[in-house]
Structure 1
Amino acid sequence: MIWDDAPQPPVVTPGPLGWLRTVLRGGALGGIVFGGLFLLLTVRLIERPAFGMRRPVTPWITQGVCKAAFVILGMRRDVRGSVMHGTGAVVSNHASWLDIFALNASKRVYFVSKSEVAGWPGIGWLARATGTVFIRRDRRDARAQQIVFEERLRLRHRLLFFPEGTSTDGRRVLPFKTTLFAAFHSTDLPDDMKVQPVTLAYHAPAGAPVTFYGWWGDQSFGAHLLAMLSAPRHGMVEVIYHAPLTVTDYPDRKALARAAEAAVRAGFEAAFSETISPVNSETVR
């Protein structure tokens, strides 16, 4: 997606040192990601017959891999607020494929992704192995998608989705689409169902464009990955957990979506105006 005030993502052409960083970081990142995938699939051979879809063990492997990814990149992750416990879902703004690592590193969640991702080499395999819910962005499938959501929520899976419907340049929050919020008003779900809004705010390294971490427009995954691996230094991402919203406090999906968007947008604006208090925050490097 393109915005009038956002330039096209820059094309990165690494020099010799950039290629060296790419090889070293890429090798380490590939090793931890696919090594973690092998371990996850091995554990799943025991976990699946014993627990079915409940997955009490393998999400911890995913979480550990995602934490390690930030260490390999040399990127700071600043976690603020309290992670919700209990039944519910998580919604966040969406800037990059890095969001998956940033959100999985702090919390055991199951992502909701567009169906095309299932066919992507590498990423699709990882997504399927970690229990991602794949959906088609088609109004005709809205009821079927709601049923899938309800089934996973009844299993106490904490689903995470991006209501904007697309990634951005990392410098804005787009209006939230309300369709997927309908599942939370099902009469078959627990009365204590909550939705926790989360803000992701990426801060570019010194000297880099403010849109450095955004993945948008015509930029391919490979081009963005190359930029991340070859960068001489990295900035940081703030992961800001807001107070959970109790579903029963909102009359319908539109009201719930508006409240979630307002919380995410307020956190985003505060992150770039440096008004967020560091109290109760956890900085992870």
Structure 2
Amino acid sequence: MTWYGDPPPKAPQTLPGWVRFAMRAAVLGGITYGGLVLLLLLRCVERPLFGLNRPWTPRITQAVCRAAMRIMGIGLTVRGTPMQQRGAMVANHASWLDIFALNACAPLYFVAKSEVSGWAGIGWLARATGTLFITRKGTEARRQQQQLEDRLRAGHRLLFFPEGTSTDSLRVLPFKSTLFAAFFSHGLETVLHIQPVTVVYRAPAGTDPRFYGWWGGMTFAGHLVAVLSAPRQGSVEVVFHPPVPVDAFTNRKDLAQYCERIIATSHSGPERPAAL
């Protein structure tokens, strides 16, 4: 599923912009794939010792993402505290930048659609860092439910985007409750917590408020060039709300609605620009 809104205006690229892009992309690529090599080497030791658990490698991912935010020049502000309880996080989804921003804040594992695993350059990174891929096939539902449960029981802190698609960064779409079902099976609801997380982007001064949003027919390459070539950058604020026990809710729909309300309310503060 892809959300489609009004297309963003296309700005012509300049020579200084291409130079900024080339410099930032070179450093970003070196840090990212250098960190990947280190992660894979460490995983060769970590896996035989700990199996599904990953006590070391998520810290490498977190350090790389913190460095990436600095390289891109995007300011990062964190409010609240990432949960320490066993369970999962849910967040609104605006852009591929969410991966860097959220991973920079806490060690976690993403739940992503299966198509991401085949994306050039990105799919490999996602698999190496422990992303859990899901499909929309009904025949896969039971197997995917088991995978979610296994990861949760192993203590992995999963993060997923219940909107099911990225947006223009100015809105929060209705949450789908499907994935919340994993938290209400085989007694997991008595031991797990859910933490809503709000991601708020603020565009660079003088640019379209939707600058960091990635949606519709926008290509990854085109958006990457636009972000890395920008002469000025904006910021992103990540808000960790208090985690709630799953068994405080009657069913998955009630839990999904609660998370949507908490995230949407904090996302649409008075300082946010109106949707175009």
User: In which range does the TM-score fall when normalised by the shorter chain?
Assistant: over 0.9
Structure 2 residue ranges without an equivalent (≥5): none
Alpha-carbon spacing, 1:271–1:223, altered in 2? closer, same or farther (3 Å): farther
> Cα RMSD over matched residues?
1.5
Q: How many percent identity over aligned positions?
A: 55
2:105 aligned counterpart, secondary structure: coil
User: Aligned partners of 2:46 and 2:3: how far apart in 1?
Assistant: 43
Matched AA of 2:243? P
User: Aligned partners of 2:263 and 2:176: how far apart in 1?
Assistant: 14
Aligned position for 2:243:
244
After TM superposition, the structure 1 = structure 2 runs for residues 190-229 of structure 1, keeping only pairs within 5 Å, are 191-229=190-228
Count of matched residue pairs: 272
After TM superposition, the structure 1 = structure 2 runs for residues 243-262 of structure 1, keeping only pairs within 5 Å, are 243-262=242-261
2:146 aligned counterpart, secondary structure: helix
Matched AA of 1:53? L
Per-residue deviation, residues 168-220 of structure 1 (Å, max 9, x unmatched): 00010000000000000112437231000000110000110000000001110
1:26 aligned counterpart, secondary structure: helix
User: Aligned partners of 2:3 and 2:161: how far apart in 1?
Assistant: 18
Which has the larger displacement, 263-272 or 154-163? Answer: 263-272
2:237 aligned counterpart, secondary structure: strand
Q: Return the TM-score normalized by structure 2.
A: 0.95
**Aligned partners of 1:12 and 1:223 also within 8 Å:** no
User: Aligned partners of 1:184 and 1:66: how far apart in 2?
Assistant: 28
**Aligned partners of 2:183 and 2:189 also within 8 Å:** no
Matched AA of 1:234? Q
Aligned position for 1:20:
19
User: Aligned partners of 1:166 and 1:7: how far apart in 2?
Assistant: 15
Q: Return the TM-score normalized by structure 1.
A: 0.92
Which has the larger displacement, 187-196 or 122-131? Answer: 187-196
Aligned position for 1:169:
168
Per-residue deviation, residues 46-83 of structure 1 (Å, max 9, x unmatched): 11111111011000000000000110011101101121
Matched, 1:118 2:152: no
**Aligned partners of 2:189 and 2:246 also within 8 Å:** no
Matched AA of 2:66? K
**Aligned partners of 2:76 and 2:235 also within 8 Å:** yes
Alpha-carbon spacing, 1:104–1:271, altered in 2? closer, same or farther (3 Å): farther
Matched AA of 2:78? V
**Aligned partners of 1:63 and 1:108 also within 8 Å:** yes
Q: Give how far 1:101 is off.
A: 0.6
Which has the larger displacement, 189-198 or 50-59? Answer: 189-198
Alpha-carbon spacing, 1:161–1:18, altered in 2? closer, same or farther (3 Å): same
**Aligned partners of 2:17 and 2:229 also within 8 Å:** yes
User: Aligned partners of 2:165 and 2:15: how far apart in 1?
Assistant: 34
User: Aligned partners of 1:126 and 1:106: how far apart in 2?
Assistant: 18
